[in-house]
Amino acid sequence: MPNPTIVSDFRAGLASGKLLIQKCGDCGEVNMWPRYACPHCQSENLGWQEANGKGTLHSFCVLRQGAPEGFEEDLPYAIGVVKLEEGVQLAVRLVPDASEDWSSYQCDDQVEFVGKESGRECASFRRVGG
């Protein structure tokens, strides 16, 4: 599968257990997902910083059937949108809770980065304290 330059650093970070977010070298603002130009000042001087991995679960859904083509074998799985403490949001996979389900998850839960666990090129998060 092609690995576009704009996400290769992010994916390399995931592979080594780091959650990287894009940071502008000129205005200092962070943004996600990766862009070719800073959405705040249009600079192309973009780099990366490691996020602290803590955030709030903005929304999520559990897929039990009807996965998009190519994702059928992942079922069931949960996708969430997490707002990181750094202020940016990204789509993540959610780790099942102790009951091997996602029934304990609620919007606004505090969640934390746990690495790349799904076999997909995305970050996995779990509830804090549960």
CB of 98 to Zn ion, least distance (A): 42
Residues found near Zn ion in the complex (CB under 5 A): 24, 26-27, 38, 40-41, 43
* Residue 35 dihedral angles phi and psi, to the nearest 5°: -130, 165
For Zn ion, the closer CB: 14 or 24: 24
What gap in Å lies between CA 116 and CA 124, rounded to an integer? Answer: 5
- Nearest-5° angle of CA 76, CA 20, CA 32? 80
For Zn ion, the closer CB: 47 or 130: 47
CB of 85 to Zn ion, least distance (A): 20
CB of 6 to Zn ion, least distance (A): 16
What gap in Å lies between CA 20 and CA 118, rounded to an integer? Answer: 17
What gap in Å lies between CA 91 and CA 38, rounded to an integer? Answer: 19
For Zn ion, the closer CB: 45 or 110: 45
